Structure 1
C-alpha cells in the first residue's frame, strides 16, 4: 500500500524486480483486495514499524493467522493503535488472503491497516503478545518522522556496538568511528563496500610510500587500513543483521586483514635490506614469522591482552616509530620473542 508513487518507491520497485520479485503499488483498499486471492497469505506491516527481523520472524512462525499485540501502557504514546482496554497493536499481522474481500465494503479513504486489524479480530484470529524483551530498546518501535528515523538508526547502532569494553585500542577507535559516522554511511547505502574500497586505497598508499623509502608512512597507512577493516567488519555485520543474511564462512574483513598483513610484511622487508650473502629464505622468514605469530597467538592464548596482540593499528604505530629511528629489524625480533613468551606464559584460550 502506498499513498502514491515517488522516486524512492520506484527505485524500490526496480530493486525488487531485479531480484526476481513481483512488486505492485496499490493506492486503495479496493485495488489491494483485487490483487490478493483467497489462497494467498499476507504479512501486514504497519507504516513506520521498525522491528528486529529475528524477533518478528519468530513471532510469526507457523501457518496460523496471528495478530501481534502488546500492553497498552506506553504503546499509545509510542504511536501504536489501541485494540481494546488492555492491548494495543504491535504493527504486525499474518492473515489469510480471503479476509481482504471485506475491504471492498469499505470507503476508499479508510485506514487499511486499522481496518484489517479489526476484521482479523472480529473473525477470531488469535492474538500473540510481543514480549517485553523484544520490545526493549530499539527492538520494536514506531517511526513517525524522519528525525525519529535518524535517531533510531543511531540508537540501533549503539545498542549493537556501543556496549561492553573493546579488546584493544585499535578496535576501540574503529568502533568509535562506526558510532560517529556509521549512521550516515548506512543511510547512503553500500557502507561496508565504501569502507572496503578505502582499505584498498590505504594499502596502495602504504605500498607506494614504502617503495619510495617513506617506510614509517607506509606503516602508518597500513595501520589506518586495518582500522578501516575493523570498521567495515562492524558495518557489514549491521547490514547482514538488517537484511537477515547469515555470516559467510570467510568474512570479507578476514580476507582484507590478510591483505593488510601482507602489506606489513612487505614494508618490513623494505625496512630490512638483505645483507650480502644472506639467503633469500632467511630474509623472507623475518616478517613471515612475525605475521604468523600475530595470527597464531590470539588463537591459543586467553586473557585480557589477547586483543592487543591482534591489534594491527598498535603494530603499525610501533613499527612506524621504530622505522623513524631505523630500528625495524630489532623491534621485529623483539616482537617475535614477545609473542612466543606470551603464548607460553598467558593462560590458554578456553574453547566451548
Structure 2
C-alpha cells in the first residue's frame, strides 16, 4: 500500500474500490482463501482502512502485521514457510489464482507485449510478472542483503527468478476475460468494476425476468455495493413486497397482488446476483435474504394465496377446491424447471413473467380461466420438451 492512487493524492492505490470493497480487501480475501496464516501488509501508516483489514484477517483466524520494508518481512517468514506475494493493485479471480498456485511454488507470468503497457513488471523480452508468486520462505532472507528502501515485491521477483523458481503462464483466456488486472487509478478501477459486474451476470439472460435482473444488476449493482446496502436491502424490499401482495389477496385485489409478486421476485433476484458477486470475490457468506430457494418457496406460497382470492366460477366453491388449480400450476412449474435443460428451465422459474402474464389476464377478466388453462399448456409443453431430450420412456 505504498503507491498513491493518482498524482497529488496521498490515498494509496490499494484503497481504490471495486464492487464496494477496496482492492486491498479483495487481495486479503484471496490470501485467506489460499490458507495464509499470517498477513504482512507493506504500508506507510496504520490508518482506519488498515485497521479494518486487520479485524477482517483476525476474524478469519490469521495474524496481521504491518511492515515498512523487506527486512521486516524476513523476520516474519521462516525457511519452512511458503510465501504468497501479491503485487500492489493486482486484482485476480480467486478461483483461477488458487488453481494456478495449488500445484507448486511458481512465479506467475503474462505475455510481455500485452502486460507491460498495463503496468506489469517486465521479466524478459517475452514475459512480465503477473503480480502473484508462491515462493519458498527460505528466499525471503535474501532481502536482508538489499538496501532498506528496495521494493520487496520487485526484489522477491528477481530473487525467485535467480533461484530457479519455475515460471507459470496465466492462461490467455483468464487475462483476456478481465480476470487478471492491474488497477492503478480511479478510471481503471471503474473499468475493472464494469467488467467484474459483466462477468457476474453473463449467461443469466435465459428468460425475460432473469435478463432484466442481470441488466439491473449491471446498471445499479456496483452503486448499491458502494453505498453499503448490497443484497440485504433488496432482500428486505422483496419481503416487503411479498407482504403487500399477501395483503392484496386478503383485500381480494388479486391483480395488484400478482404485480407486487412479480416486482418482489425481480428485486430479490437482483439482490441474489449482487450478493453472489461479493461472495465469489470476497469469500463472504450468503445471507438468508439473498438465497433464491427459501424466498422462491415463500413467494410461491403467497402466489397460491393470491390466486385463491380470484373469484370462483362456481359460487360457494370450498377453499380447498379453489386452491387445487393454483397448486397444480405451481407444482408443474417447479417440476419442469428441475427436469428440463437450463435454456428451458429458466423460463419455468421466471416468476416475473408468470406474474405479469397472470396480472394482464386478470385485468382482462380472464384469470379464473387462465390458471387451469396454463396448467394444461404446461403439461403439453413438458411432454413435448421432454420427448425432444429423450427423457420420457415408453412402457
Q: Using structure 2 for the length normalisation, give the TM-score.
A: 0.80
Partner of 2:247: 208
- Residue 131 of structure 2 aligns to a residue in which SS? strand
1:94 — aligned with what? Answer: 134
Q: Is 1:54 equivalent to 2:95 in the alignment?
A: yes
2:354 matches 1:328: no
Match of 2:180 in 1: 140
- TM superposition shift of 1:103: 1.9
Cα RMSD of the aligned pairs, angstroms, is 2.7
1:103–1:172: structure 2 CA closer, same or farther, 3 Å change rule? same
Counterpart pick for 1:113 among 142, 147, 153:
153
Between stretches 87-96 and 233-242, larger displacement belongs to 233-242
Match of 1:151 in 2: 191
Q: 334, 347, 366: which one pairs with 1:308? A: 347
Paired with 1:351 and 1:39, the residues of 2 have a C-alpha distance of: 57
Contact 1:303-1:346 at 8 Å conserved across structures: no
- Offset of residue 177 of structure 1: 0.5
Query: Does the 8 Å contact 2:304/2:327 carry over to 1?
Result: yes
Match of 2:143 in 1: 103
1:72-130 Cα shifts (integer Å, max 9, x gaps): 11211111001122221111111122222222233332211001111111222222222
1:41-80 equivalences in 2 (<5 Å): 41-62=82-103, 64-80=104-120
Task: After TM superposition, list the pairs within 5 Å mapping 1:1-352 onto structure 2.
Answer: 1-62=42-103, 64-162=104-202, 166-189=205-228, 191-243=230-282, 252-272=291-311, 278-301=317-340, 306-348=345-387, 350=389
Per-residue deviation, 1:285: 1.5
Structure 2: distance between partners of 1:279 and 1:67: 72
Provide the rounded CA distance (Å) in 1 between the counterparts of 2:132 and 2:301: 49
Residues paired across the two proteins, number: 348
Cα distance in 2 between the residues matched to 1:40 and 1:204: 55
Does structure 1 conserve the Cα–Cα contact (< 8 Å) formed by 2:200 and 2:273? no
> Unpaired runs of 5+ in structure 1?
none
Deviation (angstroms), 1:306: 4.8
Provide the C-alpha distance between the structure 1 equivalents of 2:382 and 2:164, rounded to a whole number of angstroms. Answer: 64
Is the deviation greater in 201-210 or in 255-264?
201-210
Q: Distance in 2 between matches of 1:268 and 1:104?
A: 75
Q: Could you tell me how far apart the structure 2 residues matched to 1:58 and 1:303 are? A: 27
Measure, in 2, the Cα distance between the counterparts of 1:140 and 1:185: 24
Q: Does the C-alpha gap of structure 1 residues 112 and 177 become closer, same or farther in structure 2, counting only changes over 3 Å?
A: same
CA 1:40/1:161 → structure 2, altered by over 3 Å: closer, same or farther? same
Alpha-carbon distance between aligned partners in 1 of 2:342 and 2:220, rounded to the nearest angstrom: 31
* Offset, 1:190: 6.2
Instruction: Please give the per-residue CA displacement for 1:231-284, whole angstroms capped at 9, x wherever unaligned.
Output: 233234323322468999xx9212211111111111111223696653442222
Secondary structure, aligned partner of 2:220: helix
Deviation at 1:44, TM superposition (A): 0.2
